[in-house]
Amino acid sequence: RVCIDKKTKIEYAVKIIHSSIDCSREILNLQTCQGHPNIVKFHEVLCDEHYTYIVLELLKGGELLERIRKKTRFTEKEASRIFRHLVSAVNFMHKSKVVHRDLKPEVRIFLTFPNTLKHFLTIY
């Protein structure tokens, strides 16, 4: 979902999680992995009695899988850039002692333009 900061008018992505689900590990992983250009930026966490709202950088451009389906062929340069960004993000996560257990094109991997990969961490 998308939310808008009323003061700044900046759009953010918001992940809404029911309060019965413990998302503290995901929040910690997001905070731990900040500072890498290919990992989504964490903004803040808000809570009410029913939900936890994780506010993140809004990534535009769609999922990598959709890009693969539409384009069908990539040049070696395009493919190596995407792969290099993904490996760089995963390497950063591993050095930060964070493991992503579900890497595949349809799992929350987004391309922003021009072809800059941003990876969104998910609940483990």
* Count of helix runs (H) and strand runs (E) in the chain: 3, 6
Fold for domain 2-119?
Transferase(Phosphotransferase); domain 1 (1.10.510)
Contact (Cβ atoms closer than 8 angstroms) between residue 109 and residue 117: yes
DSSP 63: B
Task: Give pLDDT tens digits for 21-62.
Answer: 999 999 999 999 999 988 889 999 999 999 999 999 998 877
Task: Give pLDDT tens digits for 70-89.
Answer: 888 889 998 888 888 888 98
Task: Give pLDDT tens digits for 89-107.
Answer: 889 999 999 988 777 777 6
Q: Tokens 């340069």 identify what position?
A: 77
Domain ranges of the chain: 2-119
Tell me, what's the pLDDT at 122? 56
* 3-class DSSP string for 91-123: HHHHHCCCCCCCCCCCCCEEEECCCEEEECCCC
